[in-house]
Structure 1
Amino acid sequence: MTLTGVIPRELGNLTFLVSLDLGRNNFHGNLRQEMAHLHRLKFFDLSVNSFSGEVRSWFGVLHQLQVLNLGNNSFTGSIPRSFSIMSTLDTLNLKFNSREGQITKVIGSLINLRELNLGGNKLVGFIPTSLSNASRLETLEISYNSLEGNIP
Structure 2
Amino acid sequence: MAQTNINTTDQLALLSLKSQIISDPFHLLNESWSPTLSVCRWVGVTCGSRHQRVKSLNLSNMTLTGRIPQDFGNLIFLRSLDLGSNNFIGNLPQEMTRLRRLKFLNLSFNKFSGEVPSWFGFLFQLQFLNIRNNSFTGSIPPSLSNASRLESLEISANLFQGNIPEEKGNLHNLKLLSIQHNQLTGSIPFTIFNISRIQVIAFTGNRLSGELPKGLCNDLPILKELYLSTNKLDGHMPKSLSNCSQLQILSLSQNDFDGRIHSEIGRLSNLQILYLGTNHFTGIFYLMNASTIYCI
TM-score by length of 1: 0.94
Distance of 2:194 and 2:115 partners within structure 1 = 25
Distance of 1:12 and 1:6 partners within structure 2 = 13
| Larger Cα-atom Rg | 2
For residues 3-42 of structure 1, what are the structure 2 equivalents within 5 Å?
3-42=64-103
Q: Deviations over 1:2-52 (max 9, x none)?
A: 111111212111111110001111111111111111111100000111111
**Structure-2 residue corresponding to 1:45:** 106
**Structure-2 residue corresponding to 1:81:** 142
**Structure-2 residue corresponding to 1:111:** 172
- SS at structure 2 position matched to 1:53: strand
**Aligned-residue CA RMSD (Å):** 1.2
Distance of 1:103 and 1:80 partners within structure 2 = 9
Q: Which ranges in structure 2 are unaligned for 5 or more consecutive residues?
A: 1-61, 214-296
**8 A contact 1:79–1:106 mirrored in 2:** no
Q: Which ranges in structure 1 are unaligned for 5 or more consecutive residues?
A: none
TM-score by length of 2: 0.50
Letter aligned with residue 82 of structure 2: D
Higher relative contact order (CA 8 A, sep 6+): 1
Letter aligned with residue 27 of structure 1: F
Q: Residue 141 of structure 1: which of 157, 177, 202 is its match?
A: 202
Q: Deviations over 1:101-152 (max 9, x none)?
A: 2211121111111101100101122101121232211101111112123344
Q: Percent identity?
A: 55
Aligned residues: 152
